[in-house]
Structure 1
Amino acid sequence: MMTTKGRCLTLLLALGVTLGGCASNKKEEQEIQSTPQKSFEMAQTALATGNFNRAVELLEGLDSRYPFGPYSHQVQLDMMYAYYKQGDYASAIAVIDRFTKLNPQHADLDYAYYMRGLNHMAMDNNFFQELLWVDRTDKDPSSSKQAFEDFATLVKRFPASKYASDASKRMLYLKNRLANYELAVARYYVKRQAWIAAANRAQTVVDDYKGTEAQEKALELLVDCYNELGIHELKANALAVLKENYPNNRLVR
């Protein structure tokens, strides 16, 4: 059994270590607060090493204490990235919206729109992963739609941007993704024999997502829906469009 003297010595040693650590942390924070350059450098190191929690802590401190300092713009740009890597998409978008509003002519505005698209795109990832396994017809993939608009804004306003090529590829991916979502909803209605609702969703794919792989299947579904509804004129129109665009389709051969 540990003696009273032994326990006291252990407690004193533990207390000494704790107080030493607190003093060291306090000294470090005081140094950071008094030297924004040091804080900024530490944040850059944290970003470079993938320590995004620490980077966010340092960048938030700089942003709140020196909102108009020499590093303010770069701090906000770094915060967009750090929040994104941390998975805090809402905070990243809040910083991006503030940055674009206050700096409409900034040289890195294209990067801000690019990061806005990436964050909105990431926000819907779980939804689309679940789409194949769970009926989610009541949820609109609005974040992916917003991501598409963000990338479209980037490509339109900054066609020479180094992010424009990747943004264009992501737009193509998102377009197919959204078309497949609409098609999945249409099929959901078909299973429930809600032919009008299914036809409306299929028509959305035909009208809004031209050039996607889902378009041919949407036209096939339109033919089936109008056949079930007994609307022969619209069925003939859908078949005509299907034949013109996909002459080898089984329904028109």
Structure 2
Amino acid sequence: MQKKLSLFVASCVLLGMSACSLLPDKADETKNWSVTKLYSEARSEMDGAHYEAAIKLWEKLEANYPFGTYATQAQMEIAYAYYKTQDQAQALAAVERFIKLHPNHPQADYMYYLRGLINFNDSIGFLSVIYSQDPTERDPKATRESFAAFKALVDKFPDSKYTPDAIARMKYLVNAMAQYEVHVANYYYRRGAYLAALNRAQGAVTDYSDAPAREEALFLMIRCYDKMANLDLRDDAQRVFVKNYPNSRFLKPNAGKGGWFNFLSKKAD
């Protein structure tokens, strides 16, 4: 009985496999497409913002026609499509691959610019939560990498049409990095870690001398020196502050000469 049951099961399996073999394979409709057909369809998907479908077509184009301008264009399009889907890792990988394969391509400057944009968008995401999250728990790596990418574009392609926008974004990123340091310095200051706060504020003043956030960083240095009873350095920093920011908002909240500085400790005569 057991033997008959085994034979029956085996027969069913064989019949099932035979039936499957009789069914037609699901054909790849792009298998015999020409390079122009693949390009046209991929472009159509891109224009319709169907980036995932477009990526598959660009990849097929490059795989089936790996040489020539169509393949090179497909590589660029893949990077841009991944950027639009917010797949940062894949987008950066595609950009790096293109730059490595085609360092002297006429549109290499665009790929440098795209590398900056990919990280720039990620840094914007970082900045959007910095006010609602403990800043010491965030690493502005994307901000630094975006700045480095835009700087590489500016240095390598100073006459590129993308360079002016890259410079404008770099200025924004410099202040973002300085502001991050100020946030961390304030975090330490509020917790009484005045030396740590001083070090972060001093770093912002030194490393980002042209950033608007430098004003608050210098003011925070004054407060830290005051809390640490280092009155000589405090007064030196205060003189620098008043000289550079005579109309600072940090001088205005309280009446009387010196504004907020009225609350500082008094140096012994």
**Structure 2 length as normaliser, TM-score?**
0.79
What per-residue deviation string (whole Å, max 9, x for no partner) do you get for residues 31-82 of structure 1? 33xx222111211111122111111111122233433343121111111111
Where in structure 2 are the equivalents of 1:74-223 lying within 5 Å?
Answer: 74-223=73-222
Q: Distance in 2 between matches of 1:237 and 1:66?
A: 68
In 1: Cα distance, 2:235 partner to 2:71 partner: 62
Gaps spanning 5+ residues in structure 1: where? 1-18
Q: 2:57 is matched by which residue type in structure 1?
A: L
In 2, the alpha carbon distance for the partners of 1:61 and 1:196 equals 58
Query: Residue deviations 1:181-237, cap 9 Å, x none?
Result: 111111110111110111111112111222222111111100000111122232123
How high is the TM-score relative to the length of structure 1? 0.84
**1:27 deviation in Å?**
5.2
SS in 2 for 1:107: coil
User: Structure 2 CA distance, aligned partners of 1:193 and 1:222?
Assistant: 13
Percent of aligned pairs with the same amino acid:
39
Preserved CA contact (<8 Å) 2:150 2:167? yes
Whichever of the two has the greater Rg, that structure is 2
Greater helix fraction, Structure 1 or Structure 2: 1
5+ long unaligned stretches in structure 2: 1-22, 259-269
Measured in 1, the distance between the counterparts of 2:229 and 2:160 equals 52
Name the counterpart of 2:261.
none
Answer yes or no: is 1:237 the counterpart of 2:230. Answer: no
Deviations 1:159-194 (CA, angstroms, capped at 9, x unpaired): 221111111111111112111111111111011111
Segment drifting more, 243-252 vs 224-233: 243-252
- Paired residues, what number? 230
More divergent stretch after superposition (113-122 vs 205-214): 205-214
Partner of 2:29: 28
Map Cα deviations across residues 105-133 of structure 1 (whole Å, 9 max, x no partner): 11111101100001111223332211111
In structure 1, the partner of 2:8 is none
SS at match of 1:124: helix
Q: Which amino acid aligns with 1:40?
A: Y
Q: How far, CA to CA, are the matches of 2:243 and 2:185 in structure 1?
A: 23
Match of 2:49? 50
Going from structure 1 to structure 2, the CA distance change for 1:220 and 1:44 (only over 3 Å counts) comes to same
